[in-house]
Each structure stands twice: as structure tokens, then as C-alpha cells.
Amino acid sequence: MKTKAAVVYERSGKFTIDQIEISEPKDDEALVRITATGICHTDLAGREQYLPIPPTRAFPAVFGHEGAGVVEKVGARVTKVKPGDHVALSWNSCGVCPSCKSGNEPYCDNLFLYNFNGARPDGTTTLRKGDQVIYGSFFCQSSFSNFALANERNIVKVRKDVPLEILGPMGCGIRTGAGAVMNTLRPSPGASIAIFGVGPVGMSALLASVVCGCTTIIAVDVIPERLNKAKEFGATHTIHASKGDPVAAIRDISGGGVEYTLECVGNPKVLRQAVDVLPRRGVCGLLGVVPPGTEVGLDMDLLMNGRTVRGVLAGDSISDLFIPRLLDLYSQGRFPFDKLITFYPFDDINKAVEDMEHGRVIKPVLRL
Ligand SMILES: [Zn+2]
Ligand SMILES: [Zn+2]
């Protein structure tokens, strides 16, 4: 069937809105009519060919991995959802490796094959324009499209009384930030936390810190508008990182250091700061994405004294369990993540990307 999609025809190319064709769902897949989809930096990393997508399946391609919509059609073996269900799409995983079997799906041993293969794991493709193959299955969805094919495994059924158009980013950015606090760091009520970088991920972590009852919540960034927003969302203190030394400022505010920090920037210098402000037994969660091979210098003696640096993917969360919980919190007014979103019409995808890259918006979401 036909679908309107944003196609990238070459490395670093613009998104081109085009009419293409999408395959019928296989037995374990569902076709989803996309209502809205978030834009994340990982989409742009795909466009720049920074991801481990096989070069022979790189372009032309459809990206998009924060889709939400309504199930249109399901394959013969799908039992989780039926046509008409509201769903958020998430990351895919294999379900059979040791990580998946032990309930740690974000660390699936086959993560690349199931999310960055340019095609289904078996190599079959789902999109084309006439005779030309278009690569997709990006995070098993390629949701910059009116219709997307997802696997039953990366489809999350959601409650119908929450606006569907805000749900796309749940599958990636929002659960990544919120989960790092609620599932990984697990601060007790009254704890202190500093969040380095309050983009969509850091801001979601901030909202989760409020949910967890942290009483010192320090937001660090270099964009004044973001720091103002952080204050609105519950930050007790904000620090402009390029005006003075954030480590000294945090020590000053907290009387010696914060129990938890999150690095949401992807910068070795920032990671160093996020470790240096920890007191003994403090924990730093690493969320910022860097190119493979990036190294950081840390004070080994400091680490020796009980400090932890912990990398976190997808908020250590099982999306089927965690996303409904976040939506319950949202419904009670305790997790207002919708305030992070700026909507754009699908046709304005290039403008949305530009605004995101310049820090003018926190989480752009395309309405399809
Ligand atoms: Zn796996
Ligand atoms: Zn993402």
C-alpha cells in the first residue's frame, strides 16, 4: 500500500516528503497508522551514517523511531494488539539472548541487528518506490511515515484517554531520562541530584527526580531558556555551565556534593565534572551519546572511594511495563512530559530538525 514518508536519499541529505509503498505485515508484525512521531538526535545520527547500519543498506532511507498511532492491521500470530488499539512504538530486541532473557532488553546482544539493519533482521525490506528499494525498519518502525511496520515486540499498547499525539517520544527520549532516575539511580525521598544537560532526556530525568521526591535538583546547561524551563519543571537550582565552574557551584549549593548525577550531554569534560561532584558512594549515570572510541580521564582514587559510573540505555526499562506507568503518572498530573513538546506539521520536518539542532525547542514532534 501507499504511504507518505520523509525519505533521506543520501548521506546528510534533507528529508524529502515522498509517496512510497510499504509491505503488508508479516505474521509477527503490525501496521500502524502513525498519528505523531518525535524527532531524536539518533535519527540525525542515522542520516549522518554514524550508526552501525550496514553501508549497503544505508540510503535511501526512512528514519523515525518515536512513533505513536493506531493499529491498522495485524499479522496472523500477533496477540498483544488488535486493529484500533492505541500504541507507542519503542526499540526492538531479539527476546532470546541472555540480556533479553534476564529482563534487560535495552542491552540485547542483537540490538544492532534488530534496530539498525536497514531492513528486518532477516534482511527483507519493507519500503520501496516503484523498483527502488528504500531502507527502513529503523528501530523496527521507520515512523517518519503515515504508516509504519513494527514488530509485536516493540509495540506498546497504551491507555486511550491520553492524547495519542504526545506519546511518540515515550518510546525513546522520555523513558530514557525518566528510567535512568526511577529504575537505575532510584534516589530516596530527600536525595540530591544534578542533571548535566536538560534537553529532552535530561528534562525527563528532572521530572522523574521530582516524582521520586528529590529535594535538591540541580540543572546544568548552557542554554538560558532551558534553564528557565528546568526551574518551571521543578529544578531547585540552575547553573549556567559556561559561566564559572559547575563543580564548585554544585559543591557550594549541596554542601559538598550531590548523591546522584546524570551526564546527558555526551562530552568527556562533562562526564568528568559529573563524577567529580559526587561524594563517597555517589553514583553517576551516563546517558550522553558519543562516537565509539571516545575516552575520558577520571581520578582513579576518587572512584576507589565507592563512587560508581554507570552507563544506562533506554532507562533500564522494559517498555511494556514502564511506559504505562509513566502514563499513569502523567494522568495524575505528576509527570507533565507533554510540556517538553513542540508540534510541527509533517511537511515541516526539516524546519523541526533545524530548530532542534539550534536548541530552540526541546522535543519536536511531527503531526502526521
Ligand atoms: Zn536480545
Ligand atoms: Zn531516540
| Three-state DSSP string of 15-29 | EEEEEEEECCCCCCE
Pair 240, 227: CB distance under 8 Å: yes
Ligand in nearest proximity to the CA of 94: 1
Helix (H) or strand (E) holding 81: none
CA of 115 to the centre of ligand 1 (A): 11
pLDDT for 292 equals: 85
CA of 362 to the centre of ligand 2 (A): 13
Pair 194, 277: CB distance under 8 Å: yes
CA 262, CA 268: separation in Å to the nearest integer? Answer: 13
Q: For 56-71, write each residue's pLDDT tens digit.
A: 999 999 999 999 999 9
What residues have a C-beta under 5 A from ligand 1, the ion? 93-94, 97, 100, 108
- Torsion 288-300-292-154 (CA) sign: negative
**What global pTM score does this model have?**
0.95
Ligand in nearest proximity to the CA of 38: 2
CA 73, CA 80: separation in Å to the nearest integer? Answer: 12
CA 212, CA 318: separation in Å to the nearest integer? Answer: 19
Residues of the chain with pLDDT under 50: none
Q: For 93-103, write each residue's pLDDT tens digit.
A: 999 999 999 99
CA of 103 to the centre of ligand 1 (A): 9
CA 320, CA 170: separation in Å to the nearest integer? Answer: 11
CA of 283 to the centre of ligand 2 (A): 24
